[in-house]
Amino acid sequence: MRPTPLIIITHEFFPHRGGIATYVEEIASAAANLGQDVVVWAQSIPNDVLEKAWKFKVKRLRLTGSHDLSCQVKLAKELIIHRRQLRNATVYLTEPGPMFTLMWLQFFSAFRPKHILLTFHGSEVLKFHRNPIIRPLARRLIRHAEAITTLTDYTRNLLSKKFPEASRKTAIVPGALRASFFASQATTKSKSDRIVILTVGRLHPRKGQLQTMAALAELPPAVRSNIEYWLVGTAKKGDYPERLKQCADRAGLNVKFLGELADDQISSIYDQADIFALTSIEHKSSIEGFGLVYLEASAHGLPVIAHNIGGVSEAVKDGQTGLLIKPDQPSELTKAFSKLISDPELRNRLGTAGRTWARHNSWQRSAELLIDTIHSNSSP
């Protein structure tokens, strides 16, 4: 008997980049490899971008994939038109955009899929709960869902605390290193007195680039003159990039803004770096639920410095693969950088352990857990 189709509806998919886009691509590929009939319904693709060759089917919708009302209405129309197809499938919502749409459609049983699976990453839990209009809609959607998954214990506990109705139906399906990173091998870095500190992530206050710069600025001048801080990523909006440049100028830091890079280019950048830093902070209703990028850095043998918030401790093992610092202790963050910069043996030990740690999960195992969750919760 053919498996029930798994329809993943998302606004975060290629060519979009980021943790959720990676999650969708990897979990869909792994599930398809296990024989699951997978279809990803995703936002439209620009005319100048070529579609990749996927292991699963992709249906492009006529919407840009934003969270605004116009996009929600367009997605609602698509779901209504294809409601019969959706009722015979497991509809899997992996991020807030499609969840918002289904929150409104759920009041009409004819338009609500019979089998609903949800994945929460962290920030959306806080956003849903803090909005007095969205909160009851989210509770209703959670009650209708047959099963819920999170990537970390942190997010599962947060979800259960804010929405207790989710506690008995939530399972952990952990994130893993991107499949393409398994080809990464240990490399010999060129001998240089300069230490390269790398951050990969969108330029946004939550990602903590300013906190990293402030910590580096407090290092002794002789140490500061021998480091370079490289930033990979861009900003979607706002003046944050300009604030970063002003901070770098004031501190006299050697900072390189590398912009958005392709995966193979990022891999090369990782191999040129000595330390990976992503000192995320809680920003408004946004928090780091996990951070697949930490695993990518570890896979390249980089010791990690991060703030101990959200689910970061489930991606970085303090004292084993990196150093975790409380976000309200800037002086301790400076000490952590000083420690790694001055101790190449410690960098090597943490980086070597990180290579093993980064591979402790696999997307195949995550897909197996996801499919088991679907089967164990599906009605006969």
pLDDT tens digits for the chain (380 residues)?
456 899 999 999 999 888 899 999 999 999 999 999 999 999 999 999 999 999 999 999 999 888 788 899 999 999 999 999 999 999 999 999 999 999 999 999 888 898 999 999 999 999 999 999 999 999 999 999 999 999 999 999 999 999 999 999 999 999 999 887 754 455 555 556 799 999 999 999 999 999 999 999 999 999 999 999 999 999 988 999 999 999 999 999 999 999 999 888 999 999 999 999 999 999 888 899 999 999 999 999 999 999 999 999 999 999 999 999 999 999 999 999 999 999 999 999 999 999 999 999 999 999 999 999 888 766 54
Q: How far is CA 170 from CA 43, 147, 360, 380, in A?
A: 27, 6, 22, 20
In a domain, 203, yes or no: yes
* CA–CA distance, 329 with 123 (Å, rounded to integer): 23
Instruction: List pLDDT tens digits, range 142-169.
Output: 999 999 999 999 999 999 999 999 999 9
344 within a domain of the structure (yes/no) = yes
Residues 190 and 107 placed together within one structural domain of the fold:
no
- 278 and 346 housed in the same domain: yes
CATH at residue 219: 3.40.50.2000
Inter-CA distances, 206 with 210, 260, 279, 282, Å: 10, 18, 9, 6
Domain count, the chain: 2
CA end-to-end distance (rounded Å), the chain: 14
Domain assignment of residue 150, yes or no? yes
Structure tokens at 18: 């980021």
- Please give the pLDDT value at position 18: 86
| Distance, CA of 125 to chain centre | 15
Q: For residues 234 and 155, state if they share a domain.
A: no
274 domain-assigned:
yes
Q: How many residues does the chain have?
A: 380
Same domain as 207, residue 299: yes
Same domain for 186 and 144, yes or no, is: no
Q: In what order do the strands lie in the sheet with 115-120?
A: 57-60, 38-42, 6-9, 90-93, 115-120, 147-150, 170-172
- Tell me the residue range of the domain where 191 lies: 180-357
Residues 148 and 35 in one domain: yes
Indicate whether 1 belongs to any domain. Answer: no
Q: Is this prediction's pTM over 0.95?
A: no
What is the DSSP secondary structure assignment for residue 50, as one 8-state letter?
A: P
Report yes or no on 103 lying in a domain. Answer: yes
Residue 265 CB neighbour total at 10 angstroms? 13
The predicted structure's pLDDT at residue 114 = 86
Same domain, 229 and 113: no
Residue carrying the six token digits 């990028």: 293
Q: Tell whether 89 and 203 lie within a shared domain.
A: no
Q: Are residues 204 and 299 in the same domain?
A: yes
Co-location of 269 and 149 in the same domain: no
Residue 129 forms part of a structural domain: yes
pLDDT given at position 185: 54
Co-location of 197 and 345 in the same domain = yes
In the chain, DSSP finds a helix count (H) and a strand count (E) of 15, 13
What CA–CA distances, in Å, run from 232 to 70, 171, 256, 285, 299?
Answer: 31, 33, 9, 24, 17
Q: Is residue 159 part of a domain?
A: yes
User: Same domain, yes or no, for 344 and 367?
Assistant: no
Contact 352, 298 (CB under 8 A): no
Give 139's contacts (C-beta < 8 A, 6+ positions apart).
163, 165
Helical H runs in the chain?
19-33, 69-81, 83-87, 96-105, 123-130, 134-144, 153-162, 209-217, 221-224, 240-251, 263-272, 292-299, 330-342, 344-357, 363-377
